[in-house]
Amino acid sequence: MRKAKESLVLLLAGGAGSRLNILVQKRAKPAVPFGGIYRIIDFSLSNVMNSGLQKVGVLTQYKPLSLMDHLSTGEAWDFTGRNRGIQILPPRTGELDSDWYKGTADAVRRNLDYIKSNPADEVVILSGDHIYHMDLDAMIEFHRSKRADVTIAMMVVPKSEIHQFGAGITDKFDRIVDWEEKPKEPKTNLASMGIYVFDYNYLIDTLSKDKEEVDFGMHILQRAIRNDNVFAYPFYGYWRDVGTIQSYWEANMDVIRKDSGISPQKWNIRTNIETMGRFADRPPARFGFNARVKSSLISAGSNIQGEVINSVLAPGVTVEEGAIVKDSVLFADCMVKKGAVVDYSILDKGGHIGAGAVVGTGDNHSTVNKLNPSHLYTGITLIGKGSQVPAEQKIGRNCVINSSVKEQDYPGKSIEDGESLFSRS
């Protein structure tokens, strides 16, 4: 029997991820921190590692430097050795710098030389921005047993959410007989997870047919379903696309919720400790005499003297006495000074909240962000990387304080619901 390690993996990590707003202002979407010590891409890479797959090409594009630094040689995921390897595939632009990948299929097509130089039985195509645990070896065996040209991992989702996905209609043998891409009035609740197994030769042949077919869901798969053997691989575990602020926040909360289905430690999710700088040498978290922590994840190097409730804190976060952090996600080295409150917010790396300040004030969650109403509409407020919030400052709901904002950039003592603030420098 052939082994799954004879399959080649392509990991798509080049999307702009603009719906994550300022979290992707200075980094690629798959490099966004998650769950305290991880990056989003760690989950896909660890699934590859745990499934015994050994060769991975990572397709990058927007703001790739932090991602490339994180991937390094691939040693953190055991991708080093004679027959193993991870290769970063930079964007293939045309004559203009703006000539980026036009879609998922276009990205793979422009890297056909890499595929052809790494012969395999199958090509597994993954996204680098999903939080999930999956045995890819089992999916590959399913693909082989069906003698499929293409196999798509699919799962049942509420019909109210199916408009966000490609949707497949199957027969009793799991063969996909019809396809709807982000349907407004769906005929099915079976959603594509953006995880594909292609027969190696079939993929090369199909990408060579029509170069105007730039997207798998919109073009390649729909033609394949009409003409070839395309099957749905049923998936029943935890999976979440963290492409929006709301879904990103919810997935972080799932890490600390009982019975949510997500467990990075049990899933053997690895991260690259060596590129985390001084993260690797952080001392254990410290808790003061008056500290109160409930239903939260506190990472190494943190100093908790105040109150932390239902929150996820990355390494090196300080919460001073009398301060409260609730229903929030704080990236590395954030500081919450004495008497400050952070409520239903996400703070990027190095955010500094002054004494007595309130981030996420009031009960009005319905005033959407004026600049990006589709990004912030549930009440979450964002504080950008390295930004400062002055002492006694009040910041409302669905607000955005952009990266590197300083105390002198604030026009007054309060930022109203739905407003955004930018650095003047």
Signed CA dihedral, 25, 28, 33, 34: sign only: positive
Q: Give dist(CA 18, CA 3) in Å, integer.
A: 38
Q: What pLDDT, on the 0 to 100 scale, is given for residue 161? A: 84
Q: What pLDDT, on the 0 to 100 scale, is given for residue 293? A: 97
Residue with more model confidence, 302 or 277: 302
Is 423 within 8 Å of 409 (Cβ atoms)? yes
Burial of 1 (0-12, 13-18, 19+ CB in 10 A): exposed
Q: Within its chain, how far is the Cα of 382 from the centroid? A: 17
State the DSSP string of 36-69.
Answer: TTEETHHHHHHHHHHTT--EEEEEE-SS-HHHHH
Average pLDDT, the chain: 91
State the DSSP string of 65-122.
Answer: HHHHHHHTTSGGGT--STT-EEEEE-----SSTT----SHHHHHHTTHHHHHTS--SE
Is 398 within 8 Å of 376 (Cβ atoms)? yes
Q: For residue 198, what are its two tokens?
A: 């292609």
Is 149 within 8 Å of 168 (Cβ atoms)? no
- Residue 164: pLDDT above 90? no
CA atoms within 13 A on the CB side of 348: 25
Q: What pLDDT, on the 0 to 100 scale, is given for residue 163? A: 85
The residue count of the chain comes to: 425
184 C-beta neighbours (distance < 10 Å), count: 7
37 C-beta neighbours (distance < 10 Å), count: 20
CATH class for domain 282-421? mainly beta
Q: Give dist(CA 179, CA 146) in Å, integer.
A: 19
CA atoms within 13 A on the CB side of 178: 8
pLDDT band at 96 (very low <50, low <70, confident <90, very high): low
Each residue of 135-147: pLDDT tens digit? 999 999 999 999 9
CA atoms within 13 A on the CB side of 10: 32
Q: Which residues of 139-167 are buried (b: 16+ CB within 10 A; e: fewer)?
A: bbbbbbebebbbbbbbbebeeeebeebbb
Q: Give dist(CA 102, CA 13) in Å, integer.
A: 14
For residues 358-377, give the mean pLDDT.
Answer: 95
**pTM for the structure as a whole:** 0.93
- Residue 73: pLDDT above 90? no
Each residue of 172-224: pLDDT tens digit? 999 999 988 888 888 888 999 999 999 999 999 999 887 788 888 888 988 99
- Residue 255: pLDDT above 90? yes
Q: Among residues 322, 394, 388, 329, which one has the least CA distance to residue 360?
A: 394
Is 104 within 8 Å of 215 (Cβ atoms)? yes
Is there a shared CATH topology between the 4-256 domain and the 282-421 domain?
Answer: no
Residue with more model confidence, 128 or 336: 336
Domain boundaries, the chain: 4-256, 282-421
| Phi, psi dihedral angles at 355 (to 5 degrees) | -60, 130
For residues 308-319, give the mean pLDDT.
Answer: 97
State the DSSP string of 158-176.
Answer: -GGGGGGSEEEEE-TTSBE
6 C-beta neighbours (distance < 10 Å), count: 15
Q: What 8-state DSSP symbol labels residue 284?
A: P
Longest Cα separation, the chain: 69
Q: Within its chain, how far is the Cα of 360 from the centroid? A: 24
CATH 3.90.550.10 describes domain 4-256: yes
204 C-beta neighbours (distance < 10 Å), count: 15
Q: Among residues 101, 122, 94, which one has the least CA distance to residue 6?
A: 122
